[in-house]
Amino acid sequence: MGITRGGNAEYDDSKPTLEELAPRIEDAIAKELASDCTVLRLSGRYYSVDEVTLLARSSQVSQIRVLDLGDNQVGDDALKILSESDQLQGVEELNLGINFITDKGIKEWAGSSTATLKNIRTLILSDNKLTDDSLADLVKSSNFPQLESLDIGWMEAGNGTAKALGESDTLSHLKKLQLERSYIDAEGIRELICGKIAGNLEELNISANKLGNDGSKAIAESSNLKNLKVLYLSQNSIGDEGARAIGTSTHLSGLTHLYVGRNEFGVEGAKAIHQTQTLTQLKTLVLQEGVETTPDLVNYSRPELLRPDQ
């Protein structure tokens, strides 16, 4: 913004045209691809529609497999441009976390017949402006046939998303699911773990939700989590009853990593897990966590996403 001093101040809000901006974007892409032509990391650059437009049409990006646009200003219009780019068809890992994507953009992508990004294996959408309304469409869409890892945490995913995940038959390759800092309760987790997706999961992060003892017991008693190796249950209001269910579960015997800190169980519940006779494959067990060790559990920038106690 320029200011002309004199009798009256004049503010110049003009921004560069696409033609003027193009050399800068091409230079930024070239610098990032210098060490590895398959990895393009452009996080934290304030990129919006114009920058994404130029990126999506650049001949330099045709070989990339990893595209990181996290912490930018990508909204629904920019998302549409990305999802329909002919140059980005080879992208396998796409990070769009911490942006301005809304339900409108995700619903359009999920239902699009012109989307070109069919090879995505890892998709990060955490900390956008998404709710059950679009997330349900996303997990049922046929536009993500290769997806192996999905991060939709730190938003307003609730039981609607959990139910849609349980009903989905399109994400047959999904192995890693992150729903941290969401609004899923015992009813929702029951819906999720009864579906096809749960049977293939190897990692499930459902920290900072509303599971309680009933949700914990539902997980412990599910025979559909036979492939699960990594489970995050931190900050879920789980008491001794729920902890005992986890510690004595015969269905979670494949777990190698278990995180259950910041819950409500006491010595009895802690012993039930620590002295487990059934979770014999555990290599990592976290029973207690604090802000000093896991500061990411507290979202200072988005306090409205803190897990409600009620």
Is 7 a domain residue?
no
Number of structural domains in the chain: 1
The predicted model gives 40-69 an average pLDDT of 98
* Whether the predicted pLDDT of 297 surpasses 60: no
- Tell me the C-alpha to C-alpha distance, in Å, between residue 121 and each of 2, 66, 118, 171, 247: 44, 10, 9, 10, 33
For residue range 71-106, list pLDDT tens digits in order.
999 999 999 999 999 999 999 999 999 999 999 999
What lies within 8 Å, CB to CB, of 32 at 6+ separation is 39, 40, 41, 42
Mean pLDDT of 103-110: 98
pLDDT at 20 over 80: yes
Return the minimum-mean-pLDDT range out of 3-12, 142-151, 260-269: 3-12
Q: For residue 217, what pLDDT is reported? A: 98
- Residues composing the chain: 310
36 assigned to some structural domain: yes
Confidence of residue 10 (pLDDT cuts 50, 70, 90): low
Kindly indicate the confidence band of residue 59, based on its pLDDT and cuts at 50, 70 and 90: very high
Are 101 and 126 spatial neighbours (Cβ–Cβ below 8 Å)? no
Residue 25 included in any domain: yes
Q: Per-residue pLDDT for 309 more than 80?
A: no
Q: What is the mean pLDDT of residues 210-230?
A: 98
Structure token digits, residue 271: 């012993």
> CATH number of the domain that 240 lies in?
3.80.10.10
Residue 278 lies in domain: 13-305
From 68, 176, 66, 162, select the one nearest 120 (Cα to Cα): 66
Question: Cα(first)–Cα(last) distance of the chain, in Å?
Answer: 46
Is 288 within a domain?
Answer: yes
How large is the C-alpha radius of gyration of the chain? 22
